[in-house]
Amino acid sequence: MRFVAALLLAFALASCGMKPLYGTDSGATKAGLATIEVAEIPGRAGWLVRNALNDRLSAAGREPPRYRLDVRLDDRLEGLGLLSDESIGRERRTLRARYQLVDLASDEIVLDASAEYDAGIDVVSSDYATIAAEETALENLAVEVADRIVTRVALALRNEE
């Protein structure tokens, strides 16, 4: 009985229509990621996001550029949670990216989307510790935003196949 149930489950999963994102037979998505150049992004947050994007895109190898990825960032740090002495006890750092994937041959926008991620930061009595926490949050946010961008770009490239 268990064997039959396992067999039915295997058939159901095989017919669900899901396709692997990077592991297709042609490898077109992976090859497409290798042809993306990331335009300069100003500021420290831009430098962090661009490096994270290049790390993820270069994992697919390097090919002559076919696409350009333009990214605009909005990095916000806001105070939350007032304490009894009217000081801020918690902060939220939000990193929002608006990005476009542009086909270099036709100058056509293939993808226009945004990605956002935020992190909470405890404000402590040590200014150094708070600043270090803010910088660590920015570094982590840059990685998360880059991951979301690459995933969305990979989906767009797969749909173009």
> Which residue in the block uniquely carries the two structure tokens 């510790």?
129
**What is the spatial distance between Cα 61 and Cα 38, in angstroms, rounded to a whole number?**
14
H or E element, residue 111: strand 109-122
| 60-116 confidence digits (pLDDT tens) | 677 888 999 999 999 999 888 777 676 778 889 999 999 999 999 999 999 999 999
**Would the pLDDT of 45 be above 80?**
yes
| 121-159 confidence digits (pLDDT tens) | 888 888 899 889 999 999 999 999 999 999 999 988 887
C-alpha triplet 61, 62, 64: angle, nearest 5°: 150
More confidently predicted of 91 and 46:
46
pLDDT value of position 130: 87
pLDDT value of position 80: 81
* Pair 29, 157: CB distance under 8 Å: yes
**Would the pLDDT of 25 be above 50?**
no
All domains of the chain, ordered by start, with CATH? 23-160 (3.30.160.150)
Q: Residue 51: CB partners within 8 Å, gap ≥ 6?
A: 142
What tokens does 85 get? 């002495």
Question: What pTM was computed for the model?
Answer: 0.79
pLDDT value of position 74: 95
What tokens does 50 get? 């661009």
